[in-house]
Amino acid sequence: MTGDENLERMLRLADPLKEGAMRGPGPRELALRDRIMAQHPTSPVPAPRRRGLRPLWWSLLAPLAAIVATVLVLATPTGVGDTTATAAKPEPMAFTDEGKTLEDVVTDAERALLRGDGPAEPRREVVTTGWYYDLDGDDQSDPRRLIRAEVSTLRWNEDLSGSVRVVAGKPYWGDDDTTEIPTAARTPGTLVWEIEFAPGEFGTPVVDPPGDSADDIADMLAALGLTDPSSGYAVFVATESALQQWTLTDAQHAQLLRALLATDDVRVLGSGVDRTGRAVVGLSVVQPEGFVEMRMLVSQESGRIVGFEVVALEANPQLPVDTVLSYSLYED
């Protein structure tokens, strides 16, 4: 399958959903944001009312995520268009408990990975389908929730040069709103933005390809911020950060899953189907502060980690309990 064919497939699959909250950008990300904005200025559109635009991107990701989130904050205006869409409720994924333990899940995944056809070597390339919230409206206690799918392709090199290309998927209202989708919600397949990184501009602590031993993967996760290997939540966050930067081998995915066996807070949710129709097993951890639940999706076919979902456990005026804050999928 060619890159264009695969992108088209991902866009077909990326219809409704959502994505979550994140940390503020640092100086490197702000400088790159300014470059992106200079190269891709916002097109003027009518703005009949004040807009509260608040993308909710999951935190603690690689610097790339901060760049993307910042651009989405600043580059998406409001207009009134003539496109309609079916409402999509932001409900968490459903799972069926089959009585499996974490050890069962890891063993099943290892068997699938042994017969898998993942990359022979880790690649500095990642294709991610993500869903993002825009909260829109004058009344911020009762905003409308626009959900935008986007397919991001990251490619980077040993000298920390590279590029990111973001293509729009299909927008939906995340509640029962039946009004027109804003013109600013781009047509599926539209290039949202694209930028190249000069040597040294892409920030990552893991520049060299990681090995596939348990120690190699532990070193990678530590470099990405993991300080407590017994915390499933911390392992989830570091793993997601790794998968935001690298397409890893099947053997490396097996080691990432084995790392979960040393944790004390991972719960098996059961089997389910992700939003691209793939059979997955869901694993869950709760953030230590108790605000969110983070879910890891493991493909039942390939054994690879293919996505993450983050769900709110505490309500606030704009987001009720069980709202999906973050949802991102990787290629199987």
What string of pLDDT tens digits covers the 332 residues of the chain?
A: 554 554 444 444 443 333 333 333 455 545 554 554 454 443 332 222 222 222 333 222 333 333 333 232 222 222 222 222 233 345 789 999 999 999 999 999 999 999 999 999 999 999 998 876 665 554 455 556 677 778 899 999 999 999 999 998 777 666 655 667 666 566 788 888 899 999 999 999 999 999 999 999 999 999 999 999 999 999 999 999 999 999 999 999 999 999 999 999 999 999 999 988 899 999 999 999 999 999 999 999 999 999 999 998 987 766 678 888 878 899 87
Q: What's the number of domains the chain is made of? A: 1
Report how far residue 159's alpha carbon sits from residue 234's, in angstroms, rounded to the nearest whole number.
28
Residue that is written with structure tokens 């408990």 in the block: 97
Report how far residue 194's alpha carbon sits from residue 67's, in angstroms, rounded to the nearest whole number.
12
Report how far residue 144's alpha carbon sits from residue 146's, in angstroms, rounded to the nearest whole number.
6
- Phi and psi at 280, nearest 5°, equal -135, 165
**H-assigned helices in 115-263:** 214-223, 232-245, 250-259
**pLDDT value for 192:** 84
**pLDDT value for 171:** 72
Give this prediction's pTM.
Answer: 0.74
Range of the domain at 161: 3-330
**pLDDT value for 9:** 46
> How many residues does this entry show for the chain?
332
**pLDDT value for 90:** 59
Residues 306 and 278: beta-carbon distance below 8 Å: yes
**pLDDT value for 143:** 54
**pLDDT value for 45:** 27
